[in-house]
Amino acid sequence: MKNKKFLQRLAVVTAVSLMTVSSVQPLTAKAVSFPDEYVNHKKALKNATLRVGYASDEPFKGIFIDELDSDGKTSVMAAPGSASLFGYDNDGKYVAGGFGNVKFDRKNNTALISITKKARWSDGEPVTSRDAAYAYEIQANKDSNSPYYNEMLENIEGVKEYHEGKADKITGLEEKDSKHLLIHFKELTPAAEYAGSGYVANVAYPYHYLKDVPFDKLVSSDKVRKHPLFFGPYAIKKIVQGESIEWVPNKYYGGPKPKLAKIITEIVPLSQAATAMKSGKYDVLLNTSSATYNKIKDDKKLVTLGSLGTGITYLGFKVGHADKDGKSVMDKSLPISNRALRQAMAYAMNVEAVTKKFGHGVTKHANTLISPNYGTYHDKSVKAYNFNLKKANELLGKAGFKRGKDGYRTQPNGKKLVLTMLDQKGSESNVAARANYIQLWKKVGLNVKLYSGKALEYNNYLDVLSSNKKHNFDLWISVWSLPPEPTSYPSYISAPTSELNYGHFTSKENDKLVAQMNSQKAFNTKYRIQQMHKWQQYMQKEAYVVPLYYQYDLETVGKNVKNISADATDVKYNLWDQVALTK
Amino acid sequence: MWKIILRRVLLMIPELVLLSIVIFLIAKLMPGDPFTGMITPQTSPAQIEALRVKAGVYDPWYLQYWHWIVRMVHGDLGMSYQFKTPVGSLILSRMGNTIWLHLLTLILSYSLAIPLGLIAGRYENSRLDKGIMIYTFVAYAIPSFVFYLLGVWLFGYKLRWFPTSGSVSVDVTGTLGYILSRLDHMILPACLMAVLSVTAVVQYLRSEVIDNKNQDYVKTARAKGVPEKTIFTHHIFRNSLLPIAAFLGYSITGLLGGSIFIEQIFNYPGMGLLFMNSILNRDYSVITALVLLYGTMTLIGSLLSDIILSLVDPRVRIE
């Protein structure tokens, strides 16, 4: 279940946290950086209870098998009990040292999963190869209705037949003995070696405990929702559905002895989060929003930890449409297909200053579509589109977009130029951000109107965004939440046949780079990183999708907490067994 | 009267069928469906499409409606797309929370409003009356969420008298501990809601008392030398409470409605938030079940009000 982040939903929401800006004005503010761990040298208390709040206005769903359904909150709140099956490095590549290890055999297209003896469920039973195989069966069985059954899974031999009900077993899953599972793939690519690629599941589920529950009843069963088993440092003692979870040490845990007597994780309403932390009600606040951070940043008893997420907020341009086979086709005749126009629009946005000033500094201006969270795969040498009205004007002038008498520019062919922006209904700050961008575009002579004249409700917005219609809008701002496998963006979002390629850009160069980064040659990590860097440079130059900013994942902790790290809720090793409380 | 009640109950059936069709149609007309936004780098469009087909999203509305009705008659309200749990048990779990909270609110609200209304009416235009009137106007005008937040800050965090969120503590032990914890979690939201919800009852009661003070029967009683206190307690108050009794029917059925603000501010899983989130997430099975429940309760509330009124006022008969 630790692989929540692997299964993170794609959130297509506009998420620009800004306040109303009624006119274009100079904006200045200091950048903020966050530590990712808090060092506390005091002696740990014995028999302490750690109280953890998760800031949200909605109850958690409480489905403790992510493959069946994942609401994010449940997975993060389940972190004290969850543990990754495998370990991996800062780039997301599997390394030895977890509760299990995975070894790939490129020659035979197999992966051998070995489970160590130290891995035991919270009922004392050992974690077995059957439990690891069961995770694939849950995802693939038709009756479990998992939304995460996908083509990557079909890469395992026999999965398709099992899903279609033609076979009782997945032939590609060979249980060598109780601790070894050999997976036979149709094809192995370099992505397989990375967490979140979809090749190997970084989880196991207790088959001995769940085998009597039919697949169609799993999601609603008490064994999954009320009394789930874990092999992490803590086990659930009690759950109040949607509200809170009480954890006690898992006495069969194979790692270091947990330091706390009890952990209580509970939902704290957003409106109360800051007050609750200031009053000391919680020791840790997960999912700290920028607004909450702004209210508690000066409190001497608290520290806010942060790590940049894998997601990205971006400006997208719709430069094509999908043909009847669903394949993206570029519309070269569209004004927005002109690279200079796209680049000029990017240069005219004062992203850095606006987000720093009004987003309370919890964002980082993005220079590429791949976040620094991906380690060496992020190309820091790529230059961001920094606010430069002069350059924007120059680019437009050179490309033939001349200013008319009304101050607005016309197309190179002399026709009127009006660009349509698709926008999603959101907070006041979203309205302000959009208004600011439109005003700045106006400053360089670009007339940008809203689709339908207004921001659309989420479902409506998504309908329009994902429609295959020809030229119904030109640009939009949105967010991608991405899995930790570094090539997930290029592979899934920029592919010509991908339904997620909302802008429908496609080019031979893009296809070539994407193919190279997952070619057999790319098993050489250095080569793979090189291809990824090339792809980032290419995308930045073409500006089909302009990266705007990366968001920090924030976690606030009291100074009485020891061994806490922002990584505790991230994809790295599980660290909850180390967390302790001091005076 | 029983015949009339039976007739009213029977009449509810076509009304509810019509209501359910309208709601079903409106729900389907909304853009999006429960699977909107589920296509991600981790999911396959083909699988999401398969789930859509399996859920009958593409069936004509009348077919979907028919399937729903048939299932409902068999006691199956379907599965919630959002929570992946049977709608019946989902609603029941939320209903428990909401009913207890609103019942406590109702008791507190009437306990506060009835004496205030009677006092304000009896001592019309006195300082006391003016004070009560100012309170009711302020209670009516103040944005509820601001008041609730203030209440949480003051009684929850500053004075630390009450828990600030949830419906029960997760680490309580024993049945008694559980009941006490539930009650403890309800007191603050119930008190805050009660304090704000008195306006209508106080105002009605006050004007009823003022009206009744000048009625002929009061004058007669006074002429007969009945003491002033008795006139109020035995005559005026009793008659003034009649319209309030009529409210009660709706109030009882309104117990199920929930309150979005209070539930959100206190993270109290109730019907209000469930209804709102179901609409936002296009959780059709929950939306239709809830609307039907609310519709039924409204019709029953109206019937209850009529029955209560006929019981407390012999002049009123259901015919």
Domains of chain B in start order, with CATH, are 94-281 (1.10.3720.10)
Question: What average pLDDT does the segment B133-142 reach?
Answer: 94
Q: CA–CA separation, A467 vs B100, rounded Å?
A: 46
Residues 6+ away with beta carbon under 8 Å from A59: A241, A242, A243, A267, B267, B269, B273
Contacts of A484 in chain B (CB under 8 A): none
Determine the pLDDT at residue A23: 34
DSSP B253: H
pLDDT (tens digit, 9 = 90+) per residue, B257-277? Answer: 768 888 889 988 888 888 888
- Other beta carbons within 10 angstroms of residue B153's beta carbon come to 16
Assess contact for A445 and A532: CB atoms under 8 A: no
Q: Which of A283, A215, A241, A273 is nearest to A51 (CA)?
A: A283
- Of B46, B265, B267, Cβ closest to residue A243: B267
Instruction: Provide the total of helices (H) and of strands (E) in chain A, helices listed first.
Output: 17, 24
CB atoms within 10 A of CB A40: 19
Q: Residue B267: list chain A partners with CB under 8 A.
A: 57, 59, 243, 267-269
How many beta-carbon contacts under 8 Å exist across A and B? Answer: 144
Residue A109, burial from CB neighbour count under 10 angstroms (0-12, 13-18, 19+): middle
Question: How does residue A426 score in pLDDT terms, banded at 50, 70 and 90?
Answer: confident
**How close A246 comes to chain B (CA, Å)?**
6
Q: What angle do CA A304, A271, A307 make, to 5 degrees?
A: 25
Rounding to the nearest 10 degrees, give the CA dihedral for residues B84, B89, B94, B96.
Answer: -160
Would you say A260 and A575 are in contact if contact means Cβ atoms under 8 Å apart?
no
Q: Is B166's CB within 8 Å of A9's CB?
A: no
Nearest chain B residue to A245 by CA distance is: B170
Q: Examine the pLDDT at B30 and tell me if it is beyond 90.
A: no
Q: What are phi and psi of A477, to 5 degrees?
A: -120, 130
Asked if the Cβ–Cβ distance from A243 to B166 is below 8 Å, we say yes
Distance of CA B201 to the CA centre of its chain: 16
pLDDT band at A571 (very low <50, low <70, confident <90, very high): very low
What is the 3-state secondary structure of A285-328? EEEECHHHHHHHCCCCCEEEEEEECCCEEEEEECCEEECCCCCE
- The β-bridge partners of A95 are A87
B contacts of A243 (beta carbons < 8 Å): 165-168, 170, 267, 269
Residue B293: count of CB within 10 angstroms of its CB: 17
Cα(A416)–Cα(A403) distance, rounded to whole angstroms?
10
User: At residue A21, does pLDDT exceed 50?
Assistant: no
The Cα–Cα gap between B291 and B295 comes to: 6
CA distance A268 to A240: 14
Distance CA B71, CA B69 (A): 5
pLDDT tens string B205-233: 999 999 888 888 888 988 998 888 888 88
Instruction: Kindly state the average pLDDT of the residues A253-276.
Output: 93
Which range, of A176-180, B24-28, B126-130, averages the lowest pLDDT? B24-28
Mean pLDDT to the nearest integer, B231-249: 81
| A432-477 confidence digits (pLDDT tens) | 888 899 999 999 999 999 999 988 888 888 888 888 777 789 999 9
Please give the model's pTM, rounded to 2 decimal places.
0.85
Chain B residues in contact with A149 (beta carbon < 8 A) = 44, 47
User: Which residue is associated with the tokens 């998504």?
Assistant: A462
Q: Which residues on adjacent β-strands are paired with residue A52?
A: A265, A284
Contacts of A25 (CB under 8 A, 6+ apart): none
Q: How far apart are CA B243 and CA A388, in angstroms?
A: 70
Smallest CA-to-CA distance from B205 within B132, B310, B301 is with B132
Q: Residue A413, Cβ neighbours under 10 Å: how many?
A: 9
Higher pLDDT, A90 or B316: A90
Could you tell me the pLDDT band of residue B44, with boundaries at 50, 70 and 90? Answer: confident
Q: Which two tokens stand for residue A275?
A: 């007050």
Of A318-327, A415-424, B304-313, give the lowest mean pLDDT range: B304-313
CA nearest neighbour of A230 among A244, A220, A245, A216:
A245
**Which secondary structure element, helix H or strand E, spans residue A275, and what is its range?**
helix A270-278
Type of residue found at A40: N
- Nearby residues of B39 by Cβ (< 8 Å), 6 or more positions away: A10, A466, A499, A500, B45, B48
pLDDT on residue B316: 64
Among all residues of chain B, which has the CA nearest to that of A238?
A: B170
Decide if pLDDT at A358 tops 80. no
Tens digit of each residue's pLDDT (9 = 90 or more) over B55-92: 888 888 888 888 888 888 888 888 888 888 889 889 99
Convert A199-213 to b/e letters by CB count within 10 Å (16 or more is b): bbbbbbbbbebbeee
Cα separations (Å) of A578 from A127, A559, A575, B154?
22, 16, 6, 36
AA letter at A124: G
pLDDT of residue A342: 96
Q: What count of other Cβ atoms lies within 10 Å of the Cβ of residue A459?
A: 16
Q: Report the C-alpha gap between A285 and A273 in whole angstroms.
A: 8
Tell me which DSSP letter residue A99 carries.
Answer: S
Nearest Cα residue in chain B from A459: B32
Q: List CB contacts of B25: < 8 A, sequence separation 6 or more.
A: B61
Report yes or no: A419 and A448 within 8 Å, Cβ to Cβ.
yes
Which of chain B's residues have a Cβ under 8 Å away from the Cβ of A151? 44, 46
A239 touches A245 (CB < 8 A): yes
CA distance B46 to chain A (A): 8
Is A458 or B195 the better-scoring residue by pLDDT? B195
A212: CB partners within 8 A, 6+ apart: none
How far is C-alpha B264 from the geometric centre of its chain's CA atoms? Answer: 16
The answer, yes or no, to whether ipTM is higher than 0.85 is: no
Q: At A581, is the secondary structure helix, strand, or coil?
A: strand
Cα B260 from Cα B266, distance rounded (Å) = 10
Using CA atoms, how far apart are residues A149 and A67, in angstroms rounded to an integer? 8
Q: Per-residue pLDDT for A13 more than 90?
A: no
Residues 6+ positions from B272 with CB-CB distance below 8 Å? B98, B257, B258, B259, B260, B262, B263
- pLDDT tens column, B169-191: 998 888 999 999 999 999 999 99
pLDDT-derived band at B48 (thresholds 50, 70, 90) equals: confident
Q: What is the pLDDT of residue B163?
A: 93
Residue-wise over B207-246: b if at least 16 C-beta within 10 A, else e? Answer: bbbbebbeeeebeebeeeeeeeeebbeebbbebbbbebeb
Distance between CA atoms of B47 and B36, rounded to whole angstroms? 13
Q: Which residues of B are less than 8 Å from A6 in CB distance?
A: 42
Task: Answer yes or no: do A241 and B269 touch at CB < 8 A.
Answer: yes
- Nearest alpha-carbon partner for A462 in B31, B282, B29, B276: B31
A169 within 8 A of A162, measured Cβ to Cβ: yes
Note the pLDDT tens digit of each residue in A118-162. 999 999 999 999 999 999 999 999 999 888 888 888 999 999 999
At A65-109, the pLDDT tens digits run: 988 887 888 988 998 998 889 988 877 888 888 899 999 999 999
Percent of residues in chain A assigned helix, strand, coil, to nearest 5: 30, 20, 50
Cβ neighbors of A43 (< 8 A, separation 6 or more) are A582, A583
A201-205, A240-244, A413-417, A492-496: the lowest-pLDDT one: A492-496
Q: What is the mean pLDDT of residues A398-408?
A: 92
Cα distances (angstroms) measured from residue A413 to each of A193, A333, A335, A392, A398? 50, 11, 10, 19, 14
Confidence of residue A320 (pLDDT cuts 50, 70, 90): very high
Query: Could you tell me if B56 and B35 are in contact, meaning their C-beta atoms sit under 8 angstroms apart?
Result: no
The shortest C-alpha distance from B49 to chain A (Å) reads 10
Tell me the two tokens of residue A488. 């997930």
pLDDT of residue A10: 30
Q: B163 to chain A: nearest residue by CA?
A: A281
Q: What is the pLDDT of residues A168-178, one digit of tens each?
A: 999 999 999 99
Contact: B45, A499; criterion CB under 8 Å:
yes
Asked whether the beta carbons of A348 and A446 are under 8 A apart, the reply is: yes
Q: Contact A68/B84, CB-based, under 8 Å? A: yes
Q: What confidence tens digit (pLDDT) does each residue in A521-554 have?
A: 999 999 999 999 999 999 999 999 999 999 888 9
Q: For residue A375, give the nearest of A290, A463, A307 by alpha carbon.
A: A307
Instruction: From chain A, pick out residues whose CB is under 8 angstroms from the CB of B165.
Output: 243, 266-269, 272
Binned at pLDDT 50, 70 and 90, residue A388 comes out as: very high
Query: pLDDT higher for A12 or B14?
Result: B14
Residue from the list A219, A269, A460 with its beta carbon closest to the beta carbon of B267: A269
Binary contact (B171, A262; C-beta < 8 A): yes
- Residue A23 CB neighbour total at 10 angstroms: 7
